[in-house]
Amino acid sequence: MTRVTVVRDILEANDRLAAENRRLFDEADVRVVNLMSAPGAGKTTLLERTIASLDLRIGVVEGDIQGSQDAERIDAAGARSVQINTNGACHLDANMVASALGELPLPELDLLVIENVGNLVCPAEFKVGEHAKAMLLSLPEGDDKPAKYPLMFRESRALVINKMDLAPHVDADPDRIERDARTINPEIEVFRVSCKTGAGLDAWLDWLRRLRAH
């Protein structure tokens, strides 16, 4: 019982900080996406493609346990970035994100993407002030992930199934992924893409434009 109470208190405190982040985002008129996935699914590559193709001013908060390689790639792609190293924590929380916001010119951005730490569990539990959560699942990870990690799919407004170019070479069914994801979350929007070839990215970009417009 004590453990449950402590967890609830942590989440409630985080939610209060997330609400303050959200107030700052709305005040600056910037839309925010919390992008989540397992390690290696292709979040940074998706962002590089997005920055190159989307007609919006984009900033990125990069969350990693250690290192700054992804932030360097985002800078090279032409977006503003801030690196957060969690030093072992498996997710970003609202306080971590708040600490990075002073390094970004929020009023000069149309879209801010928070690239969360690679993990299919904890990032879905912690709000950071985002307007929408989106998750990336690479096809080689397997088609059983919605059943194993339902919270990620329940919390996300968009699901990007990446590495579709590998479909002939892996034993994973994208139809099953989409079907199971929609069983968990009937409102989720699903995009099948290949960040390597660019196939399917237009629908993802349109979703981001709609998010910005509304």
DSSP string, 121-140: SGGGG---S-SEEEEEEEGG
Q: What would the pLDDT profile of 4-47 be if each residue is shown by its tens digit?
A: 554 577 789 999 999 999 999 999 999 999 999 999 999 999 99
Residue 188 in tokens = 């989720």
Look up the CATH architecture of domain 2-213: 3-Layer(aba) Sandwich (3.40)
The structure's pTM equals 0.93
Could you read off the pLDDT tens digit of each residue along the chain, which spans 214 residues? 454 554 577 789 999 999 999 999 999 999 999 999 999 999 999 999 999 999 999 999 999 999 999 999 999 999 999 999 998 889 999 999 999 999 999 999 999 999 999 999 999 999 999 999 999 999 999 999 999 999 999 999 999 999 999 999 999 999 999 999 999 999 999 999 999 999 999 999 999 999 999 8
Percent helix / strand / coil, the chain, rounded to 5: 50, 20, 30
